[in-house]
């Protein structure tokens, strides 16, 4: 298969297992984000793909070729790291042409490629500027262009946007995704920013404790989280105990008919996203609670409700603002289709 395949990849540092038995397929031309909390093994996994670390066990294949033990410079990679590591004494053009020059490309070829890449990153005419005179976002784009100069088979970026301020980071996420789609280059990005992962990726790989907890398209990760870790890590959610009953399951002391519980499961946890918690007048819904706090963020309103001894949150947009006040009783309606039964 063309693209990248990891088979049972494990990395141990002494007795500590940083990456455990990872299996992952990244089809050619797709964009994957490795996402997870600090220390979950994202960078270690990326370093093995880059050839900067060797796996303790397992195999890494690129375009059906075993590259597990192939040195970094023979892997056809473009890499961008957080520090960027641009050469400060060189111009933009010299930075971008660097790897072409050491591969022996002629002056004309270098210039043609630099012009092409500068146009791609919207910096045409910047070739002769010293990189020291660029803004943070411009430097970021030059680092990306430099990594792409050799037309790599695989494009690897480790927290590439984390040094930028929030607005610029969001703009660069869109730019990076558009560039990747135009080039059709297989890309892997390490990030701990879930919004960044959701913006850019075809597949979000959520890691914890050195393991992949779920690898799926962003919407599936959000709407159909596999387990409590993923549900809790991605966005806000309500994790509620359930007990299977005759027609579905009991949640917050009320029966939710139609809630599909996997065979043989007597109890467990469901995830219900706050936008799927519907507040209504008491008596109009099976669950009753008391409003304990309202957070109005302008674009969204978060209403915190206590029900059956548990705190849950409902989110609504301003034109669907629930007509409630702190201390008031409310009815809570849950659609069984919005209750996702989790693996524990």
**Distance, CA of 105 to CA of 118 (rounded, Å):** 18
Given the complex with ligand ATP, which of 11 and 141 has the nearer CB atom? 11
Given the complex with ligand ATP, which of 39 and 184 has the nearer CB atom? 39
**Distance, CA of 114 to CA of 118 (rounded, Å):** 6
The answer to whether the CB of 229 falls within 8 A of the CB of 218 is: no
Q: Which x/- pattern over 220-259 shows residues binding ligand ATP (rule: CB under 6 A)?
A: ----------------------------------------
The answer to whether the CB of 68 falls within 8 A of the CB of 59 is: yes
* Contact call for residue 75 and ligand ATP (CB under 6 A): no
Question: Among residues 4, 18, 121, 200, which is the contact residue for ligand ATP, using CB under 6 A?
Answer: 18
DSSP letter for 260, please: -
Given the complex with ligand ATP, which of 42 and 139 has the nearer CB atom? 42
Q: Which of 342, 60, 25 is nearest to 215 (CA)?
A: 25
The answer to whether the CB of 289 falls within 8 A of the CB of 329 is: yes
Q: Tell me how far, at minimum, the Cβ of 198 lies from ligand ATP, in Å.
A: 17
CA dihedral for 135, 138, 144, 146, sign (positive or negative): negative
* Contact call for residue 273 and ligand ATP (CB under 6 A): no
Given the complex with ligand ATP, which of 34 and 307 has the nearer CB atom? 34
* Contact call for residue 153 and ligand ATP (CB under 6 A): no
* Contact call for residue 55 and ligand ATP (CB under 6 A): no
Given the complex with ligand ATP, which of 91 and 208 has the nearer CB atom? 208
**Distance, CA of 1 to CA of 165 (rounded, Å):** 39
**Distance, CA of 306 to CA of 304 (rounded, Å):** 7
Given the complex with ligand ATP, which of 16 and 297 has the nearer CB atom? 16
* Contact call for residue 36 and ligand ATP (CB under 6 A): yes
Instruction: Tell me the residue number closest to ligand ATP, measured at CB.
Output: 43
The answer to whether the CB of 178 falls within 8 A of the CB of 187 is: no
* Contact call for residue 83 and ligand ATP (CB under 6 A): no
In this structure, the number of other CB atoms found within 10 A of the CB of residue 122 comes to 11
Question: Among residues 3, 4, 32, 44, which is the contact residue for ligand ATP, using CB under 6 A?
Answer: 44
How far from each other are the two terminal CA atoms of the chain, in whole angstroms?
A: 33
**Residues that contact ligand ATP, how many (by CB under 6 A):** 12
- Which residues, including other chains, have CB under 8 Å from residue 164's CB and lie 6 or more apart? 136, 137, 140, 172
Q: Tell me how far, at minimum, the Cβ of 260 lies from ligand ATP, in Å.
A: 34
* Contact call for residue 15 and ligand ATP (CB under 6 A): no
**Distance, CA of 227 to CA of 237 (rounded, Å):** 12
Given the complex with ligand ATP, which of 38 and 263 has the nearer CB atom? 38
Residues 170-209 that bind ligand ATP (CB under 6 A): 192
Q: Which residues bind ligand ATP (CB under 6 A)?
A: 13, 16, 18, 36, 38-44, 192
């Amino acid at each position: 298969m063309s693209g990248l395949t990891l088979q049972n990849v494990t990395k141990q540092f002494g007795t500590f297992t940083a990456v455990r038995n990872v299996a992952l397929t990244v089809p050619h031309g797709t964009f994957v984000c490795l996402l997870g909390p600090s220390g979950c093994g994202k960078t270690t996994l990326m370093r093995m793909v880059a050839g900067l670390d060797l796996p303790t066990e397992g195999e890494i294949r690129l375009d059906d070729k075993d590259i597990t033990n192939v040195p970094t410079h023979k892997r056809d990679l473009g890499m961008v790291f957080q520090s960027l590591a641009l050469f400060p004494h060189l111009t933009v053009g010299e930075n971008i042409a660097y790897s072409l020059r050491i591969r022996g490309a002629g002056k004309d070829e270098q210039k043609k490629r630099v012009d092409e890449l500068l146009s791609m990153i919207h910096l045409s005419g910047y070739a002769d500027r010293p990189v020291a005179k660029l803004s943070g976002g411009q430097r970021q784009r030059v680092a990306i262009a430099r990594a792409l100069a050799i037309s790599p088979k695989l494009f690897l970026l480790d927290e590439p946007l984390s040094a930028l301020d929030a607005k610029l980071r969001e703009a660069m996420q869109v730019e990076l995704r558009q560039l990747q789609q135009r080039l059709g280059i297989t890309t892997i990005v390490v990030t701990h920013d879930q919004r960044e992962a959701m913006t850019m990726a075809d597949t979000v790989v959520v890691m914890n404790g050195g393991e992949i907890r779920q690898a799926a398209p962003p919407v599936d990760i959000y709407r159909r989280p596999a387990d409590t870790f993923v549900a809790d890590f991605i966005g806000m959610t309500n994790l509620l105990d359930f007990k299977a009953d005759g027609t579905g399951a009991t949640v917050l002391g009320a029966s939710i008919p139609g809630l599909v519980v996997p065979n043989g499961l007597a109890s467990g946890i469901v995830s219900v996203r706050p936008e799927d918690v519907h507040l209504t007048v008491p008596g109009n819904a099976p669950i009753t609670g008391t409003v304990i706090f309202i957070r109005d963020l302008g674009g969204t309103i978060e209403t915190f409700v206590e029900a059956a001894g548990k705190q849950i949150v409902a989110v609504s947009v301003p034109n669907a603002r629930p007509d409630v006040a702190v201390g008031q009783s409310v009815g809570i309606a849950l659609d069984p289709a919005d209750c996702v039964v989790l693996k524990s």
